[in-house]
Amino acid sequence: MAPPLPAHEALQQLALSCAACRRCGLAEGRQQVVVSRGNPAARLMLIGEGPGAQEDLAGLPFVGRSGQLLDQLLAAAGLDSQSEAYVCNVVKCRPPDNRKPTAVEMAACRPWLEQQIALVDPLVIGLVGATALEAVLGIRGGITRLRGQWRAGDQDNLNLGGLQGRWLMPLLHPSYLLRNPSQAEGSPRWHTVRDLAELRRRLLDPSLG
């Protein structure tokens, strides 16, 4: 039997497999399959909902206005989005009119996300927005209440496998922050920079509680 591929080669293979994927109806309207950007060796993974129009054209996640804001907020928290994070989405193809992906579409794309998590092997996962929280942990609603709270990955998690030993945190989606631009103390942006700094704190010292 051939030995398993190194993780970076396996991720390249995964990207090729995703590019040919037609497991769900989102394949019909896509320009490109959007798999990831950033560093595959990063210990931080950020998972968003799905590609928008600009991501669909560029073939990269979080490159539109939301992505630019995400990069700025990461930088404000001391994190570089290209070298210190691996960024991906729950679904790899753009839902029409930027609607939320359906449960069927999220389930169809789940094996790709599970493979990404297994190959990147992140210590910390940021769940960017309510759809990522729902898809990964099965929690519907409550993102503004749950943001910033650590969740220990559970081997019995029914929505997504391979989370044991990892730390997960729900985060507000940058598209929400674009609609709420205040940076005043206590604002959603203010909280998000602190949440991202808390991600960094655990990355720097995983023994911290």
Q: What residue ranges bind ligand SF4 (CB under 6 A)? A: 18, 21-24, 26-27, 33, 91-93, 105, 108-109, 112
Nearer to ligand SF4, 54 or 115 (CB): 115
Residue 64 CA to residue 106 CA, distance in Å, equals: 22
Nearer to ligand SF4, 91 or 169 (CB): 91
CB contact set of 99 (below 8 Å; sequence gap of 6+): none
Are residues 30 and 94 in contact, defined by beta-carbon separation less than 8 angstroms? Answer: yes
Write the burial class of residue 204 (CB in 10 Å: 0-12 exposed, 13-18 middle, 19+ buried).
Answer: exposed
Nearest to 30 by CA among 48, 57, 49: 57
Nearer to ligand SF4, 105 or 195 (CB): 105
Which 8-state DSSP code applies to residue 161?
Answer: S
Which tokens in the block code for residue 132? Answer: 């990522």
Cβ 87 to ligand SF4 shortest distance, Å: 16
Cβ 11 to ligand SF4 shortest distance, Å: 15
Residue 105 CA to residue 89 CA, distance in Å, equals: 12
Write the burial class of residue 7 (CB in 10 Å: 0-12 exposed, 13-18 middle, 19+ buried).
Answer: middle
Cβ 5 to ligand SF4 shortest distance, Å: 20
Residue 134 CA to residue 141 CA, distance in Å, equals: 8
Cβ 20 to ligand SF4 shortest distance, Å: 9
Cβ 13 to ligand SF4 shortest distance, Å: 14
Nearer to ligand SF4, 33 or 88 (CB): 33
Nearer to ligand SF4, 14 or 73 (CB): 14
